[in-house]
Chains A and B, each alone.
Chain A
Amino acid sequence: MSNEASRQSRTAKLASDLRQFWSEPWFAILTMILAGAILLFIVTPVFAVLYKSFGMDASGFTLDYYREFFSRTYYFDSMMNSLGAAVISTIIVVILSVSISLYVTRSTSFVSRFYRGAALLPLVAPPFIFSLSLIILFGRNGIVTSVINSTFDVEFSIYGFWGVVIAQVLGYFPIGYMLVESTMRNMNPSLEHASSDLGASQWKTIRKVTLPLSQTGITKAGLLVFVMALADFSNPLIIGGGEPFLASEAYLLVVGQQNLEQAAVLGVFLIVPSLIIFIFQTYILDDSGLETISGESGASNAPLSRRVKTVVMTINTLFVSFIILMFVMVVLGAFVKIIGINNTFTLEHFQNRNGWDSLYTSVFVSFVAAILAATIGMLQGYLFARKPIPGKKALEFLTLFGLAVPGTVMGIGYVLIFNGSPFFLTGTVLLIVLNMTFRKIGVGLEASISKMHQIDTSMEEASSDLGSGPYRTFGKVVVPLLSPAFIAGFIYTFMTAMVSISSVIFLIAPGTNLAAVYILNLAEQARVGMASAMSFVLIVIVLSCMGLLKYIEKKTGVSI
């Protein structure tokens, strides 16, 4: 009986939700378009990969490709390599992030700001750039290698598993660092003060207070780095020296053999860990508990004691110098004939029309994708936070999931779906834009939802009480309030799109080649000079765009 009643009330609620949903028809239609787009551009590609991994539509359901996966040590090795490299990279990134964050959050000196800037620098470069620098320095005939070999009489080579790990640490460090740093910054310093007032040494305070308090942030950072490192495909290609890794192997299976089924199986093994981590992070990892103790206290963190500072600063300085060294190698590599072998100054690496064309395409495509992603994210955030939309939890989940899907899987999925009717988009710029957009709208969405939750509905109510319709209210009240979320979505999408590669590499065509893909292609031809030159220009472009935004921020007073 009570069951019956609850069911009735549920139905009634759904009916009233639906009525309300339709009371603003434009928003309703928009929501449906959005939902359709999310399904088409995020969900279907993933399912297409899953479907293909069972050999469907070629030979009917078969487990042959899975059997192949397990029967060959080669594929199994690729999984172990990918997982192993990701775990080790993650651990190193977390340790380094904590070390640099400890210092940066407790000092406002120039050095601290410089370290912070340098630590974030890898964000603006294609993720595989460090592989190139590493080869220049530590390759079999690298500048440092020759010294090591002659001094220690050993045969040292960077190619292989450890090269990939080092490249991943450098490339994915900023992602982990940003999360750890923001957690540590938001921590209430009075707890640390209490600990030290009670006589604990700073080591003990860090171990017993600071780290436990930042545990959630650190875990999140670690998981994110793990997912990205697992999906990394460009570093294994350049510096892997033939060691198999899941993502690069999947890519080679597609481009070298057109064996989409086997590639799909590898894709499934990429996506399962990512999905588990994503669900764990979204539903199980609880980050609300510790927020209560944060907040304004006026006090600032105690500066590091001498002993702690010595240790932390040694690690930091070494790491930051290493990052800078990597970038210096790229810049030098761009301006000399062949770095380390023939160091004559030259500008010839910049005379590369196809390279400049691809840079132009990259800027254009990334810009459009960033505008789209930020707009959609903002709109979606507003609708999801304020409107009674049936199934919005599921849609939100799917949108955020788009961020976690390994690029290689998404790329293969796009190839599978858009290479025929009803949506024949292969080879078009549009497909690249859509791919970049829908993989990233999650960031704008998350920012918008959290912003919407901070804003009381009273402003919107006031606007509507004064006679504005819902659309006018949205345009005049909500959009200005959400502009920081828009900008966050824009910046993130633009930066990542400029250097993204794993997904779009499957989608390029003559005339729509992208800078990052082009640079990877040069690296494959071992054209270090040209690759460095194009990377250098790419980095300069991304940095100038960021500079421009900072300038706008200052001029308009909007915080970015």
Chain B
Amino acid sequence: MKKLITTTLIISAMLVLAACGDSGSDGEPLQVYTHNDSEEMDAMVQDIEENTGVELDVLRLSSGEGWSRIQAEAPDVGADMQIGMLHGFGIKAEEEGHLLPYESDEWEDVPDKFQQKDGEWYGTSFWYNLIAVNEDIMKEKGLDVPQTWEDLLDPQYEGEIVLPDPGTSGTAFLFVSTIMQIMGEEEGWEYFEQLDENVGQYTKSGSAPAQMVAQGEYAVGLTWDQAVYDYIDEGYPITDVIPSEGVGYSLDVAWIFENTDQPEKAKKVMDYLGTQDFMELSAEYRSMVTKPGITDDSGLEESFIDYDAQWDADNRDRIMKEWQDKFSN
């Protein structure tokens, strides 16, 4: 018996050493926060590691969750880099001085509006809000396909709408912010109070509604573009609706944290994010990327509202506080 204990102790010591040895080869892996979906991020990480030789450790947090974590940790943020985050948070993080400016040559041909002046953050791709609709359920329950944001308030959808929670989900906050920018705040709040009556469930992640609608759990879901297109490609009975008032869009940005202790590796990764290779990979998961000539986004711009990301950055705290007061969560 004593032998058994000794053996286990030795094995555990070896495990510890093995774990240390793992990371000891080329210093620590680069630590990365992301709000990207697990599937997409998994492919990206593999690609980045193969092409830069930099090892990545990734933690996925919904945008709101990630942002409150960054704020709690700052100035000692627990990651070196962020790959994939809301545009508005990029602006805020820059204003609060959490970001390390780096001017990368690889990003030269990306239009200036997609990057911060001194290279504090770079936008890799675009995404926008969409309504996902399950056609089978609509038919079965005799519901009309909503065409406008206003339509969602119709009592016929009572309990049939799934919405992400803007406290944790960036998708949901983009939606809240869009409605506020279209309708103005006062009417916006009225809109959400009425919408709340129809909402069957609030989810933590912005992609969850797409899957729930695909599975037929709910008839209508508020989500983002690629989450819906993935399921359409796989043959699920869902369609996307771009409401006629227009949708809000957001840039997906990447940045390096000011307090990183591996700036060289982070810069190497940032360079790679701007390359044709990465942008092409990114385009497999996103409908639009920022590097010109890879994705065809003609026509889409008409559907976009004149979305103001700075408004996002300036008003999020206040809006979210009121949201929590009104909807208790």
Contact = CB atoms under 8 A, between A and B. Distances in A.
B287 to A, nearest CB: 19
A368 B15 contact: yes
Interface string A405-424: 00000000000000100000
B205 to A, nearest CB: 5
Interface string B207-224: 111111011111000000
Interface in B48-94: 56-62, 64-65, 68-69, 71-73, 78-79
Given A74-B329, A255-B68, A255-B168, A352 B201 contact: no
A483 B32 contact: no
**Most chain-B CB neighbours within 10 Å: which of A258, A352, A429, A483?**
A258
B30 to A, nearest CB: 8
**Most chain-A CB neighbours within 10 Å: which of B57, B61, B200, B210?**
B57
A513 B31 CA distance: 12
Contacts of B188: none
Interface string B236-249: 10000000000000
Contacts of A340: 215
A509 to B, nearest CB: 5
A352 B217 CA distance: 26
Contacts of A393: none
A354 B46 CA distance: 10
B205 A525 contact: yes
A480 B211 contact: no
A552 interface: yes
Interface in B247-288: none
Nearest to A479: B2
Interface stretch (A80-88, A236-244, A287-295, A437-445): A236-244
Contact of B58 (A249, A337, A354, A426): A354
Contacts of B207: 525-526
B302 interface: no
A511 B12 contact: no
B233 interface: no
A163 to B, nearest CB: 12
A140 B39 CA distance: 25
Interface in B1-60: 1-2, 4-5, 8-9, 12, 15-16, 19, 29, 31-33, 37-39, 41-42, 45-46, 56-60
Contacts of A526: 203, 205, 207-212, 215
Given A338-B215, A510-B58, A524-B208, A141 B45 contact: no
B64 A256 contact: yes
A382 interface: no
**Most chain-B CB neighbours within 10 Å: which of A72, A159, A252, A256?**
A256
Nearest to B160: A140
A342 interface: yes
A341 B4 contact: no
A416 to B, nearest CB: 11
B46 A353 contact: yes
B167 A483 contact: no
B1 A483 contact: yes
A508 B234 CA distance: 33
Interface string A506-530: 0011111100000001101111101
A556 interface: yes
A509 B2 contact: no
Contacts of A368: 12, 15-16
B57 A353 contact: no
A168 to B, nearest CB: 19
A354 B41 CA distance: 9
A256 B165 contact: yes
A480 B69 contact: no
A364 interface: yes
Contacts of B45: 353-354
A371 interface: yes
Contacts of B37: 525, 527
Contacts of B324: 257
B328 interface: yes
B204 A524 contact: yes
A341 B214 contact: yes
Nearest to A513: B59
Contacts of B57: 357, 510-512
A70 to B, nearest CB: 14
A256 B168 contact: yes
Given A141-B217, A342-B236, A527-B211, 20 more contacts: A140-B200, A237-B204, A252-B204, A252-B329, A256-B168, A338-B215, A341-B236, A342-B234, A368-B12, A426-B73, A479-B5, A483-B5, A509-B79, A511-B57, A511-B59, A521-B60, A524-B203, A525-B211, A530-B38, A558-B4
Interface of B: 1-2, 4-5, 8-9, 12, 15-16, 19, 29, 31-33, 37-39, 41-42, 45-46, 56-62, 64-65, 68-69, 71-73, 78-79, 137, 165, 167-168, 200-205, 207-212, 214-218, 234-236, 320, 324, 328-329
18 contacts: A140-B200, A140-B217, A159-B201, A242-B201, A244-B328, A255-B65, A257-B167, A337-B234, A338-B211, A342-B234, A342-B235, A357-B57, A364-B15, A364-B19, A367-B15, A429-B19, A510-B31, A527-B37
The list of the 7 closest CB pairs from A to B, nearest first, reads A511-B57, A141-B216, A526-B211, A74-B328, A510-B31, A256-B167, A526-B208
